[in-house]
């Protein structure tokens, strides 16, 4: 029996704010949700809450672009086919169809909002390919700075609307619910001044989670430091169903740096590793070992443009066989002009640590990059808790299945955030203010905190036992570490309530649920690779693993078979 806290140990709220809708998170999904809500419900009070500054989430780090069928020779059907192949049988076909059908309009909408995408000579979108795509359909900006430009345009639009209240530097703690179990807002901790300082409550009948990913559960990740799984942990504590947690995508080509060089770019151990975009391989760069031998030759028909799980696994195999910590991405064949024009950010970052992509292969290694799983939603972003929605990386719409197709992530945030706004606008609860704080913030009695001093041990255990390579033995060892971290009687530590302890508790909650899902799925599929069950098994495992906490904090695992395609 696995037990986890049903609420965070925290002081009672010392201040309140009331709104009609609270959106938590300021990446592409959260910002898009807010803007669409304002458009569809101009009289509603919309509050945007974000953990750090508005631009501090994962969106700004997205280099490659946004996938959408915009070319004359492309189609939604082709995009759908590539998405389903990458998802290895576990995509929700209905969700994937929504994504590819509505995606082009959302991208054009972004451009109309002011996002400056790269253009071809005739003024059309400049499109490129990435791994798993059989067509050129990746829209990009600034060469390799798509997320930064998208974030800039969205934030500018939010700041231009004086009716949108924004609370920055606010860590969400727990969901508030009313006596009927419906959403009634959330508790927050704000690092600020005046009445908003400390723990408070934002009351609202509708909450939209757009809190991003959980990459910080691993020792090496491309995710920013704010990606500690807060939204998934909150949802679990609130009794929501979480799906597909075992499918964590490891990006094959994070810039590998020795510790001294890592410090120069802020990539400290356990922090955020600089990303070398897959689009570089889309332009023709190849993975090689120290002897110059191509790593992906013969490993997959698409070679270096194979789906990310295939590339990460092959790299891990080669690294293990050769006893090395990294391989190389050789882009020299692209030429200086292409490298510097198409990848200015990557080039500058590499040069800042003494690696010139024009003349040198780039040292790279896989790092945790994207969570395909998350809070389970339907096609309108509704979770299993009434009034609670989720979109972006925190959500599991079913679009990605066992492995996200490259550049479908930003598109998913755009499409489903807009659908959430449309659904909220169509409900009678949208205009009801949440003016009273419920007596009990969540269902369930258990509260707890985990010692933040143990964070390095958690991330190390997760990387070693639940990273790219997994087995029953490694997962068992990792689960044992996680149980120990939750037992303060073993360490004798006294934990003080505050952001470090709350983040650490969220990390342990999400890691524990992920390892339980990993151990349950005894097959290899997509980004979930079991060394002891190396084959895909459609007889027993063509289904989704659902995770939830019962009211007493027991972790419940269910397996839901996939419905046959119509």
Indicate if the alpha-carbon torsion angle 535, 539, 545, 550 is positive or negative: negative
Catalytic residue among 7, 129, 152, 308: 308
Residue 40 contacts by C-beta under 8 Å, 6 or more apart in sequence? 421, 422, 424, 425
- Catalytic-residue membership of 308: yes
Instruction: Estimate the crossing angle of helix 230-237 against helix 499-520, to 10 degrees.
Output: 80
CA–CA separation, 115 vs 168, rounded Å?
Answer: 23
CB 273 within 8 A of CB 427: no
Query: Computed over its alpha carbons, how large is the radius of gyration of the chain?
Result: 22
> Quick one: tokens of 291?
């002897």
CA dist 113 and 514 (Å) reads 38
Secondary structure E strands in 241-322? 242-243, 248-255, 286-288
Cβ-proximal residues to 531 (8 Å cutoff; 6+ apart), any chain: 469, 470, 471
Position of tokens 């959106």? 23
Look-up of token digits 């770019």: 265
For residues 106 and 98, what is the distance between their CA atoms, to the nearest angstrom?
A: 12
Contact 106, 113 (CB under 8 A): no
Distance CA 540, CA 384 (A): 26
- Tell me which residue of 185, 186, 76 sits closest to 411, measured CA to CA: 76
Residue 185: closest CA among 37, 36, 13, 57: 13
CB 343 within 8 A of CB 233: no
Outline where 374-433 has alpha helix (H): 408-425
Looking at the annotation, which residues are catalytic?
308
């Amino acid at each position: 029996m696995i037990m986890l806290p049903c609420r965070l140990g925290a002081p009672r709220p010392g201040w309140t704010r009331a709104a009609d809708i609270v959106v938590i998170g300021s990446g592409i999904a959260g910002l898009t949700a807010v803007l669409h809500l304002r458009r569809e419900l101009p009289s509603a009070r919309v509050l945007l809450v974000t953990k750090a500054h508005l631009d501090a989430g994962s969106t700004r780090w997205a280099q490659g672009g946004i996938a959408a069928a915009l070319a004359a020779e492309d189609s939604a059907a082709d995009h759908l086919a590539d998405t389903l192949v990458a998802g290895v049988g576990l995509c929700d076909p209905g969700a994937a169809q929504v994504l590819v059908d509505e995606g082009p309009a959302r991208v054009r909408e972004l451009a109309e909002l002011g996002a400056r995408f790269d253009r071809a000579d005739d003024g059309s979108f400049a499109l490129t390919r990435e791994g798993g795509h059989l067509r050129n359909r990746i829209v990009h900006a600034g060469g390799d700075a798509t997320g930064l430009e998208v974030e800039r345009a969205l934030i500018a639009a939010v700041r231009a609307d004086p009716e949108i209240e924004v609370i920055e530097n606010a860590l969400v703690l727990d969901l508030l619910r009313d006596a009927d179990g419906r959403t009634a807002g959330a508790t927050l901790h704000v690092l600020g001044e005046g009445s908003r300082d400390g723990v408070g409550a934002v009351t609202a009948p509708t909450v939209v989670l757009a809190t991003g990913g959980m990459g910080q559960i691993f020792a090496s990740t491309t995710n920013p430091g704010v990606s500690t799984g807060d939204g998934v942990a909150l949802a679990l504590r609130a009794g929501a169903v979480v799906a597909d947690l075992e499918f964590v995508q490891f990006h094959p080509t994070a810039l590998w740096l020795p510790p001294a060089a890592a410090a120069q770019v802020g990539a400290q151990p356990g922090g955020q590793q600089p990303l070398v975009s897959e689009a570089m391989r889309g332009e023709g760069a190849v993975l090689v070992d120290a002897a110059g031998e191509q790593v992906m030759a013969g490993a997959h028909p698409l070679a270096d443009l194979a789906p990310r799980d295939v590339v990460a696994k092959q790299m891990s195999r080669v690294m293990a066989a050769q006893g090395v910590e990294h391989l190389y991405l050789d882009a020299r064949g692209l030429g200086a002009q292409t490298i510097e024009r198409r990848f200015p950010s990557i080039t500058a970052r590499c040069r800042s640590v003494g690696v010139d992509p024009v003349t040198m292969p780039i040292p790279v290694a896989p790092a945790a990059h994207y969570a395909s799983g998350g809070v389970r939603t339907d096609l309108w972003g509704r979770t299993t808790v009434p009034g609670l929605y989720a979109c972006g990386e925190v959500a599991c719409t079913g679009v990605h299945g066992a492995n996200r197709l490259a550049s479908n992530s930003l598109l998913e945030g755009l499409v489903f955030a807009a659908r959430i706004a449309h659904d909220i606008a169509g409900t009678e609860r949208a205009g009801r203010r949440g003016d009273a704080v419920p007596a009990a913030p969540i269902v369930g009695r258990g509260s707890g905190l985990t010692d933040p001093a143990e964070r390095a041990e958690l991330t190390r255990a997760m990387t070693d036992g639940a990273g790219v390579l997994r087995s029953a033995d490694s997962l068992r060892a990792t689960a044992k570490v996680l149980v120990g971290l939750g037992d303060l009687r073993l360490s004798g530590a006294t934990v003080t309530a505050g952001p470090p302890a709350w983040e650490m508790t969220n990390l342990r909650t999400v890691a524990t649920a992920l390892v339980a899902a990993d151990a349950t799925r005894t097959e290899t599929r997509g980004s979930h690779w079991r060394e002891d069950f190396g084959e895909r098994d459609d007889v027993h495992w063509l289904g989704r693993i659902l995770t939830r906490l019962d009211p007493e904090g027991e972790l419940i695992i269910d397996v839901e078979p996939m419905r046959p395609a119509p």
